[in-house]
Amino acid sequence: MTEQRSAIVSGGSMGGLFSGFALYQHGWDVNVFEQTAGELKSRGAGIVAQPSMLRYMEEHDIISDGEITTETNRREYLNRDGSVERKFADSMTFTSWDAVYRHLRGAFPDDRYRMGYEVVGVEQHGESVTVEFADGTEKRADLLVVAEGGQSDTRKQLLAEPSPEYAGYVAWRGLIDEEAASGNLIEAFENTFVFYEGENELILGYLIPGPDGETSRGNRRLNWVWYDNVRDRDRLKELLTDSRGIEHEFSVPPGELREDVSGQLHEKANADLPDCFSKVVTTTPKPFVQTIYDLSVPKMAFDRVCLLGDAAFVARPHTAAGTAKAAEDGISLADALGNDEITSALENWEETRLEAGERLVSEGIRMGESYMDPN
């Protein structure tokens, strides 16, 4: 009888959960370790529900067909005065980060998901890998999956370069509960993916499910993203300094924007945006900001350690595929390992996933430059 193989997954967000679940389904003794001690919360909220991700979740009874998704059947681009510049039929399916996370987390064995464990060191020993945690404990396994996100410290241990590269603009983001928004405002986004393209800026909005995947009227949320050029580093530093005076590197979480920054955001919305979008921005209770950056790695496999999801590639949100790519990384990893020798299986898996990551990052750069390039 073949001895059960073991895996440690560092990072309990999307990439970590999908890889942990897929490995567990393939018979691995797998444990997921997340450094956050409390409940994970999305700062992005709305995501495009790519078919491959939904299909996998349905096939493994994580969700039912049509569950946790909203749909639009047309796309509209507005003029500054709020009139429709152009519109066309376009079918899109959306979901929310928290709904996907909660259903996936509920399907993964609770005793195999550990919170409050930060990986601080990794050492390989031939046919095993040892992980050291911040509390001084160590655990050994046959495989380490690094799914720690774009700021991964373990990636920095494995690769001195690269580091995330700022793209020259930020994304303001926010959510409004449907019950807190006016009927006219919700009507503007009903079944519609709405855009406004200004001068070197872009804002878009759509309806998404509630936190647990609720899709009935009154229980949805209005999700918006506003891309805004911020080339000046001093201005960027100002935006990333929160209400407590703490300067963040990549984002300021919901509820922590300084009052003067929130005020500037509202002023800019009223000055620059069509009425429906200015109302969305100014009535959002806890908007937040995140920098847009690119990240690509030259390697994903390191003997018995691999990088996946945002720990390897961060593509700009315009691609609408970051979450789906993290899911595909994890699912394809479990499929590739099979009963093969781990090192060679990782090398074969790496070849296809490097290509997919590079392609997605390049597409994000192309799309971003078409929207946001000031030249």
DSSP H or E run through 221: strand 221-229
CATH architecture designation of domain 6-37+116-164+295-372: 3-Layer(bba) Sandwich (3.50)
Do the beta carbons of residue 92 and residue 81 sit within 8 Å?
no
Domain boundaries, the chain: 6-37+116-164+295-372, 70-96+166-293
Q: Please write the tens of the pLDDT for every residue from 192-250.
A: 999 999 988 899 999 999 988 999 999 999 999 999 999 999 999 999 999 999 999 99
| pLDDT reading at 278 higher than 90 | yes
pLDDT, residue 25, reads 97
119-124: strand order across its sheet: 119-124, 129-133, 138-141
pLDDT, residue 372, reads 85
Burial of 307 (0-12, 13-18, 19+ CB in 10 A): buried
CATH architecture designation of domain 70-96+166-293: 2-Layer Sandwich (3.30)
**CA-to-CA distance for 284 and 167, rounded, in angstroms?**
26
The number of helix segments (H) and strand segments (E) in the chain equals 10, 18
pLDDT, residue 41, reads 64
Q: Please write the tens of the pLDDT for every residue from 302-357.
A: 999 999 999 999 999 999 999 999 999 999 999 999 878 999 999 999 999 999 99
- Count of CB atoms within 10 A of residue 243's CB? 14
% of the chain surpassing 70 pLDDT: 98
